[in-house]
Chains A and B, each alone.
Chain A
Amino acid sequence: MRPPHYQALARRPASEPPLVDWVEVISENFMVAGGNPRAVLRDVRARMPVAMHGVSLSLGSVDPLDEAYLTELAALAREIEPAWISDHLCWSSFGGHTGHDLWPLPFTEEALAHVAARVHAVQERLGRPILVENVSSYLRFAHSTLAEWELLAELTARTGCGVLLDVNNIYVSAHNHGFAARDFLDGIPVGRVGQIHLAGHRDEGTHLLDTHDHPVCDAVWDLYAAAVERFGGVATTIERDDDIPPLEEVVAEARRAAEVERAVLAGRARATEEQRRVR
């Protein structure tokens, strides 16, 4: 839910059916005292489920967890009662300073243990498991000893957290680092994916940049179909953060995601039925 869509989502006449079943909000945008953001959030929450998606937990940072931030996040969660809460597998602060970005981690046992301890602490604080999202990345570390999906899978095993699987981020990182996107999907345990993100990116020639300013491209739709094939029907969000189109365009992409899911699941059901008959 982005500001250009507030009006359409929050002030829609109650007599008209909602345009979407649920929305995801950027937690930090609503960790404010009042005004329009909080009024819109209250209104939307009264109409549909809301998922809280944060960008500032900095789960991988060596800085201490930001207690003030966690307190505010927990307070917002108590008020909104979100369907779930998510943030990213990354670091975004160092030395008490914030970068307002999602910086990649080396995929090492040390990083895994560090993030797992912090996910435990956050979940304890929030009183619920969280979802952790894979980020797009533009660099790899020479000393990584794990694949990103291996670290993420082990993180879920150690902490009980779920995965917010960003299919576009997988596609971008696979292109930028030369791994097979399907390997990522295959490395994530079935049953651990609580949400899927879809978004657009930009081709910079030397690399793909995760910009969230384009419609989802065909290759990412194909990868999404593969994700549905593996993980089944999962709540899916279209992300747009820049060049935000009218809500109807975003809703059209969300409907396409629903159609892809229906088609994949129907195909899977047919295949299962045929296998049963053969036996």
Chain B
Amino acid sequence: MSDSPARSTGPALAEVQALLYELITAPAGVARGLAARGLAPATLEAVVMGDHRLSATARLDVYANMYFFRILDVLRGELPRVRAAVGDDAFHDLITDYLLAVRPAHPSLREVGARLPAYLGQHPLGLERPWLAPLARLERAHRELFDGPDAEPLTAEVVSALGPDAFVGLEVDLAPCHAILEHGYALGPVWEPLAARQAVTPAAGPETLLVWRQGLAVRHRVVGDAAERAMLAGLATGRAALGSLCEIFVAAATEGGRGGGAVADLAAGAFQVLARWLDDGLLIAASDGPAPSTTGDGRIMVGPWQPGC
């Protein structure tokens, strides 16, 4: 570097970045972005040098294309079923609209789709097919739980070794890396067909899905049994003793005069649910961690992990 560098007489750094950011993120390319702002190409040419190979506009378009298509590629990978359901062109337009309405603000690309499910619920595509937003939420939950927090699950061996009093009094939580999704469509049966790009539409009807990570694999299943849903709800508001969970099961199984069977059958039913949860790695020993939280969009999160939103 020379001892006395030439002073630039050009625009300030903040002005340059404001102009370029606006044009790079303009939805229909740099030329239209300039026109939409009432700017002549010369305005850009005063800042960015063009040459015989590429004009200033074309050079900035390289960045505009990379901005959009990088994010589109990420969201295509994250929401393959939504993309299959609406088709490539409509998905492309959806992401164009999304990026205009919800500009990326998190430094990690993994968060770029965090607000897409909620946005889709208000978008014409989602209004026309109201099951798209819950489907996007489910695909997004798989993405978020993939690298959500680790936890040491309780094992069946540990629990079965407890005496009756210790069993009843053991306080448990759901493992933090889970989501409970409640919506008005049967998404469970269309999950695989949509992955195979089959043209299917989910039936209308209430569905509760439990999504969780066991080890390194994210899984989900429909929670069809009302008593199990009640037990999950009992844990969604905080830790609970195993004895309390069994009482919740019995109350739900006998609610509204339903017989529910003999006491032994009820106990067996509650143990069956708990055994399944233990097999699935869903339960952890309760600790004095952060309070549970609700996201307000159908997800109930428990534990220290907060989904990006």
Contact = CB atoms under 8 A, between A and B. Distances in A.
Interface of A: 28, 31-39, 56, 58, 60-62, 66, 69, 91, 93-101, 103, 105-106, 108-111, 114, 138-146, 150-151, 153-154, 178, 206-207, 209
20 contacts: A33-B149, A33-B150, A34-B147, A34-B149, A34-B150, A35-B147, A35-B216, A36-B216, A39-B150, A56-B108, A60-B13, A66-B107, A99-B67, A101-B24, A139-B63, A142-B10, A142-B45, A142-B47, A142-B49, A145-B5
Given A34-B177, A35-B148, A62 B70 contact: no
Contacts of B45: 142
Contacts of A150: 1, 5
- Best-buried of A37, A61, A98 by chain B (most CB within 10 Å): A98
A111 B13 CA distance: 7
A143 B25 CA distance: 23
A139 B48 CA distance: 7
A151 B13 CA distance: 15
A96 B147 CA distance: 25
Interface of B: 1, 5-14, 16-18, 20-21, 24-25, 45-49, 51, 53-54, 56, 58-60, 62-63, 66-67, 70-71, 103-110, 112, 145-150, 177, 213, 216, 304-305
B66 A109 contact: no
A111 B148 CA distance: 38
Contact of A35 (B9, B60, B146): B146
Contacts, number: 149
A142 B177 CA distance: 51
B54 A206 contact: yes
Nearest to A58: B107
Contact of A110 (B13, B49, B103): B13
Contacts of A110: 8, 12-13
Contact of A109 (B7, B48, B54): B7
A62 B14 CA distance: 6
Given A98-B104, A101-B67, A109-B8, 6 more contacts: A28-B110, A96-B105, A106-B16, A141-B10, A142-B46, A207-B53
B201 to A, nearest CB: 32
B302 to A, nearest CB: 14
A230 B47 CA distance: 34
B10 A106 contact: yes
A36 B150 CA distance: 10
Contacts of A97: 21, 25, 103-105
A75 B112 CA distance: 22
Contact of A94 (B17, B46, B63, B177): B17
Given A33-B147, A97-B103, A110-B12, A138 B59 contact: yes
Contacts of A105: 13
B13 A114 contact: yes
A138 B51 CA distance: 11
Contact of A100 (B16, B20, B60, B109): B109
